[in-house]
Structure 1
Amino acid sequence: MSVYLGEFLGTMLLIILGGGVVAGAVLKGTKSEGAGWLVIVVAWGLAVAFAIYAVGNISAAHINPAVTLALAFIGEFPWEMVPGYVISQTLGALAGASLVWLHYLPHWGNTDDPAAKLAVFSTAPAARCFASNFISEMIATMILVMGILFVGANEFTEGLNPLVIGGLVMVIGLGLGGTTGFAINPARDLGPRIAHWLLPIKGKGSSDFAYAWIPVAGPILGGMLGAALYKIFFQQEYTIAYGVVSAISVFATIYAVIVNYKTKIGT
């Protein structure tokens, strides 16, 4: 099996399991309706773990463009393979979301809330402020990538690493996911959002592409920042590129603080 097919299948499995638990929790008339945030977060963590188990020995199971780009940024993954990985991940996410739609077919018509239907496919902020939403995704993905690099730097019992990374995703969701729903993965959000736009879902409402750039750009910058900080502080390596990414992240954070301050003053 090719590495690109591995990334496609791994990301598809991630979305089938992760998106599936959201569908069960928010769509009307399911056995798990109202299951809640804890169930969703735990399921996403386990979905990540099982996706890594499925294709880790084939493609290293990035299953996330932010991870792929971060590893390429610090020289641990070849840049020429990045486009193929990102395309495979995004298409896999789209396919996984389509299978979730098919699996829950009778329940879309029973659900009146368009926001609930969109939530099965993609993330949305609890408080809509693009600057702050961007920073939330940036910080959460920074922690994700740093955590993945920490795991790789330690020796675990053979086969345990995917569960550790799944636990990392769970704690990110519990600690940092309350603001934006912790996309922390451009493919996980964009692929299913496109599926929501394409699929014949009664009363689905807007796919909210105005927000779609946040869970793409925020995780990409956050992933590169996490990788850069790991290299700077834990491996004592520094390049101009690491400094540029760090500076951009600082300026973005300052901008978000200013925007929030001005918004509060205005109200």
Structure 2
Amino acid sequence: MNVYLAEFIGVAMLIFFGCGVLAGNALKTSGSYQAGNVAINIAWGCTVAMVIFCLGDISGAHINPAITIMQAVKGSFEWSLVPGYILAQIAGGMFGSLLVYLQFIDHWEKTDDVNVKLTIFATAPTIRNNVANFFSEYIVTFGLVFCILGIDTNTFPGGLKPLAVGCLIFLVGTSFGGVTGAALNPARDLGPRLAHFLLPIPGKGNSDFKYAWIPVVAPIMGATTSGLVHNALYEGIVDYRLYMMLGLTLVTFIAIKLLSKNEKVSNELISEVA
């Protein structure tokens, strides 16, 4: 199987089952309404494990542009493959979302809340704060990738490594999923968000692209920094790449803080004029 096709199928599987459990939990007539946080994160963890079992020996089962870019920056993946991987991953996310839409085709109009429908597809913070939301996606992705790379340094009996990664996804989702939805993966958020925008979902609201950059940029930066820190700690490789990522991280946080402050001032002025 072609590696790009494998990544497409892998992300489609991830979104079909992962967003499928979100739909079941959120749509009132689904039959699994209010299944709960534990059930949701078990489903995501099991899905990641299944994808690795099915496709890991073909494409490496990146199923995440942040992982692909991190591996390329580290030097363990060819840059020439990166664009194709990312396009396949995002397209897979859109296709998986289409399948979720079709699976629950008769249920969308039975639930009125537009925000509920959006969060079936895309992630959203419980408290809107760009600095805090960016930090959450950044640091949780950093931890996720650091642990995945740590898992890679161990030897497992046949078939157990994907289960370890699945358990890690369950742990991360249960611990921090409520803060921002824990995208941790640009394709997991952007693909379904684009699908939400394009699909004729009854009673849907806007797709909140104003927030969409955070679950794209923060996981990429968090994963890349984590990979380089792992290189420094485990392999003793400390070079310009690590310094550049640390500097870029600092500049990004300062920029977000300043932009958020300016936006707040502007909103206050608009409110006073109104």
TM-score range, shorter chain: over 0.9
List alignment gaps of at least 5 residues for structure 2: 269-274
* Alignment pair present for 1:212 and 2:184: no
Task: Return the TM-score normalized by structure 1.
Answer: 0.94
- Once the two structures are superposed, residues 59-85 of structure 1 have per-residue CA deviations (whole angstroms, 9 ceiling, x without a partner) of 110000000000001001000100000
Task: Return the TM-score normalized by structure 2.
Answer: 0.92
Name 2:4's counterpart in structure 1.
4
- Once the two structures are superposed, residues 165-201 of structure 1 have per-residue CA deviations (whole angstroms, 9 ceiling, x without a partner) of 1111111112222210100000000000000000001
Cα separation, 1, equivalents of 2:91 and 2:137:
22
Cα separation, 1, equivalents of 2:83 and 2:2:
15
Residues 18 and 44 of structure 1 are in contact (CA less than 8 Å); yes or no, is this contact kept in structure 2? yes
Cα separation, 2, equivalents of 1:61 and 1:21:
21
How many pairs are equivalent? 264
- Once the two structures are superposed, residues 128-174 of structure 1 have per-residue CA deviations (whole angstroms, 9 ceiling, x without a partner) of 11121111111111111111111111001111111111111111112
Amino acid at match of 1:172: V
Name 1:140's counterpart in structure 2.
140
| SS of aligned partner of 1:54 | helix
Amino acid at match of 1:244: M
Residues 93 and 192 of structure 1 are in contact (CA less than 8 Å); yes or no, is this contact kept in structure 2? yes
1:252 Cα offset (Å): 4.2
Cα separation, 1, equivalents of 2:173 and 2:250:
23
Amino acid at match of 1:237: I
Residues 131 and 259 of structure 1 are in contact (CA less than 8 Å); yes or no, is this contact kept in structure 2? no
* Alignment pair present for 1:68 and 2:68: yes
Residues 135 and 252 of structure 1 are in contact (CA less than 8 Å); yes or no, is this contact kept in structure 2? no
List alignment gaps of at least 5 residues for structure 1: none
Name 2:54's counterpart in structure 1.
54
Residues 70 and 145 of structure 1 are in contact (CA less than 8 Å); yes or no, is this contact kept in structure 2? no
Amino acid at match of 1:19: C
Name 2:197's counterpart in structure 1.
197
Cα separation, 1, equivalents of 2:78 and 2:260:
39
Cα separation, 1, equivalents of 2:161 and 2:261:
41
Task: Assess, with a 3 A threshold, how the Cα gap between structure 1 residues 256 and 170 changes in structure 2: closer, same or farther.
Answer: farther
Residues 184 and 219 of structure 1 are in contact (CA less than 8 Å); yes or no, is this contact kept in structure 2? yes
1:209 Cα offset (Å): 0.5
Name 1:242's counterpart in structure 2.
242
Cα separation, 2, equivalents of 1:258 and 1:211:
16
What is the percentage of aligned positions where both structures have the same residue? 44
Residues 130 and 260 of structure 2 are in contact (CA less than 8 Å); yes or no, is this contact kept in structure 1? no
1:255 Cα offset (Å): 6.6
| SS of aligned partner of 1:155 | coil
Q: Which has the larger radius of gyration?
A: 2
TM superposition outliers: structure 1 runs of 4+ over 3 Å: 250-263
